[in-house]
Chains A and B, each alone.
Chain A
């Protein structure tokens, strides 16, 4: 049972335009949401996060939006650059029985930014 879903396996965007990556989740206990970026042959690297008490967080070209009622979040990249081409993983965390954060990942969306 996949609790974090990224339904678009790939996305192509022209350089300079906006990239929108979407993510849906099912577990209402998630209280923190994160986006990771992964280049080939490397591990995922943290990009941006948002607490469940907020609906928007912005960091430079990257903005994450959270819609709790719809259990949906999205990552906006404006303007998109060729160096943004990577696989983007949506992740969500909830506390386990010991109070520790347990992070659950989606399947990833491969973004290609065309020069």
Chain B
């Protein structure tokens, strides 16, 4: 079974530019999450999709961040325009369908490291 795949693994951009991160979850996982870790800090929740719908986007920092999940499959996270404080590692995770206890065992991708100069 393929795991969670994220692309790119590392992106270096200048302040004001746009970056789009992509996540392919495990096939059949309806729950898809985006998290971010800034150096040395917690892995912070950004948002949660159930299929193509945004279930919870309370962690999105501001309106420079836009997440989509086309057809309930892969997801993209766009940052536009990027600021210095957006630097960090963006993790995508997926979990099995439903609301049961198994749904909180998240499978993570390797992360996309974003460096904004």
Contact = CB atoms under 8 A, between A and B. Distances in A.
Interface of A: 2, 4, 9, 32, 34, 36, 41-46, 49, 51, 89, 93, 95-108
B46 to A, nearest CB: 12
A54 to B, nearest CB: 12
Contact of A102 (B4, B43, B56, B109): B56
A34 B105 contact: yes
Given A100-B50, A107-B42, A108-B42, 13 more contacts: A4-B42, A32-B101, A43-B111, A44-B91, A46-B107, A93-B104, A96-B48, A97-B56, A98-B50, A100-B48, A101-B95, A105-B45, A107-B40
A108 B35 CA distance: 14
Given A102-B56, A105-B42, A44 B104 contact: no
How many chain B residues sit at the interface, stated as a range, is 20 to 34
A100 B106 CA distance: 13
Interface of B: 4, 31, 33, 35, 40-45, 48, 50, 55-56, 91, 93, 95, 99, 101, 103-111
Contacts of A100: 31, 48, 50, 55-56, 99, 103
